[in-house]
A and B are shown apart, each in its own frame.
Chain A
Amino acid sequence: MSAAKLWSWIAFIFGFLFFFLPLIGTFEFSLRARRGVYSFDAYSNVLSDPQFRETFTYSVVMALFTIVLGVLIVAPTAFWVRLKLPKLRPVVEFITLLPLVIPPIVIVFGYIRLYNTSSYLPLTGTAFGTNILMMCGYATLALPYMYRAVDTGLRTIDVGTLTEAAQSLGAGWTTIITRLILPNVLVAVLSGAFLTFAIVIGEYVFAALLNRPAFGPYMVWMGGNRAYEPAALAVIAFTITWACMALIQLATRFSKHTRAQR
């Protein structure tokens, strides 16, 4: 074995240990709920906790709404910019990179100061308004990923020719977007959607400062008040993130097959 190969193996093993030991450790810790014996008590405590169900449902529903909002804002815009406003592309791309630059805590601080009850748009005045505000905040956080996914998807299909062909056959804009563009970028949209889902489920800062009963603050609260349930929650959260990524992989592989069939 050459020296390079030896060092590669050593590096890989170290990397493997660093990344898998915490996962194993978390799982083992979550099994310690019953003194002296390994059991799944922590998991049953968590899953039967009504607060878990409430906050988890809230976050899942919020994630779904965020995905819909994100798709509705990003997909038509990306399509339109590519087709009709190519000069605007750099501006739009810069805007979609802003959420990665500005820390989320600053964004939510801005929301609290800007949209309180003494402003033009008193969103934090009601629970419903705050939910809307948080949904828009989450859509903003997911904007870079959603836009990049959809834009990559649009790049692979020749938007200009397809649209012209459809228009020459008499299709209106709605038909073009819903029956021509969306099905072709569905895979890209799906991967953006799963990423958004993973982000929203674990998000903490927005939910904590806007005082909404989401999953993130629930997890932090559990971390301070329970001994073994937080580890169980971490395992559940990791499994969900893994499932989202696996679904993205599956969706991309599925699309490759449909492409090949043509």
Chain B
Amino acid sequence: MTTNHSQAVRPLRPPISMNWIGAVPFMLFALLFLILPTFHIVVGAFRTPDGSLTLVNLQGLAAPNIMSAAWLSMKLSLLTALLGCVTGLLLAMAITRGGLPSWFRDATLTFSGVASNFAGVPLAFAFIATLGRLGLLTVVLRDWFGVNLYGTGFNLISFTGLTLTYLYFQVPLMLLIITPALDGLKREWKEAAESLGASGAQYWRMVALPVLWPSLLGTFALLFANAFGAVATAMALTGSSLSIVPIILFAQIRGDVLQDPHLGYAIAFGMIVVTGIANLVYIVLRSRAERWQK
């Protein structure tokens, strides 16, 4: 290990190797329970049942049902990320600089912390209880306002309904991340812009938005990855027959519904690629955004 051959000068205990031992438990844990399983899946996507390398599994991803599920997942994730970004930004602007009472901000941020963790099974139940056929809102709209919600073609178990449900945890996540970024918009910049004669809109277009842009785009990518991988909410809302990618993978793992065991590996690999790219975009843009926050 050490290239120092002189016996007399060698220190009693080489400090480097002892220190590395301290990181071993963590590394071992991460290796066994995070890195190896993922690696196994990635490798499995390129293998046939008898162990040789192949691209057949990935080609199997081009099947129409998987492609349409992937498209549906993409649409859902893109739309909820976009709506989540816009709505979250508007709400964050309202509580930080909208002139609302100051305690609104703390209360909203606390609630956002809870709501962003409320995803999953209970969220589906909550939306069924509110916007389902017999939900409170549906009944109230019917009895108090004479509006037949389901008569208009709305259904909770549809793209629109699922988008609404996903927004419940996307918007708070956006709020939590963008509020510090909004705080970073220094007051002096607005004052400087006004003193140079810029209107509110011009300030936003030429100063604030360009500064916020990396944060916005980065959080968009994060929200996208968040929605793409979400499975519990959709499963609790629809059971395993909805064609989005995580549910197809779930049904494949459970019951081999696609009748091709190695296709599961390919689907999982596809998911990793999509969420990996999205998170990479987020990390890169976040480090760019942090330049302004120093």
Contacts and interface: CB of A to CB of B under 8 A. Distances in A.
Interface stretch (B6-14, B20-28, B49-57, B64-72): B20-28
B21 to A, nearest CB: 9
Name the prevailing secondary structure of the A interface residues.
helix
B41 interface: yes
A245 B110 contact: yes
Interface in A163-201: 195, 198-199
A5 interface: yes
A28 interface: yes
Contact of A7 (B36, B94, B136): B94
B236 A223 contact: yes
Interface residues of A, number: 78
A109 B265 CA distance: 9
A107 B33 CA distance: 8
B interface majority secondary structure: helix
A153 to B, nearest CB: 17
Given A109-B253, A238-B118, A25 B136 contact: yes
Interface in A129-144: 136-137, 139-140, 143
A23 B137 CA distance: 11
Interface in A8-47: 8-9, 11-12, 15, 18-19, 21-26, 28-30
A61 interface: no
Interface of B: 19-20, 22-23, 25-26, 29-30, 32-38, 40-41, 44, 87, 90-91, 93-95, 98-100, 104, 108, 110-111, 113-115, 117-118, 120-131, 134-137, 167-168, 171-172, 200, 225, 228-229, 231-232, 235-236, 239, 246, 249-250, 253-254, 264, 268, 271-272, 275-276, 279, 283
B183 to A, nearest CB: 16
B33 A26 contact: no
Given A98-B38, A100-B279, A198-B117, 17 more contacts: A4-B99, A19-B168, A19-B172, A22-B131, A25-B126, A25-B129, A73-B26, A80-B23, A95-B35, A98-B34, A105-B268, A110-B37, A216-B120, A216-B232, A230-B125, A231-B125, A233-B125
Given A220-B236, A223-B121, A12 B129 contact: no
Given A28-B129, A73-B26, A107 B272 contact: no
11 contacts: A21-B130, A25-B126, A97-B279, A107-B37, A109-B249, A110-B38, A198-B117, A204-B236, A205-B232, A234-B123, A234-B125
A101 interface: yes
A255 interface: no
A220 B124 CA distance: 10
Interface in A109-164: 109-114, 121, 136-137, 139-140, 143
A113 B38 contact: no
A76 to B, nearest CB: 7
Given A4-B98, A85-B23, A245 B114 contact: yes
Contact of A103 (B91, B122, B130, B246): B246
Contacts of B98: 4-5, 7-9, 11-12
Contacts of A97: 279, 283
A259 interface: no
B129 to A, nearest CB: 3
Contacts of A57: none
A219 B233 CA distance: 12
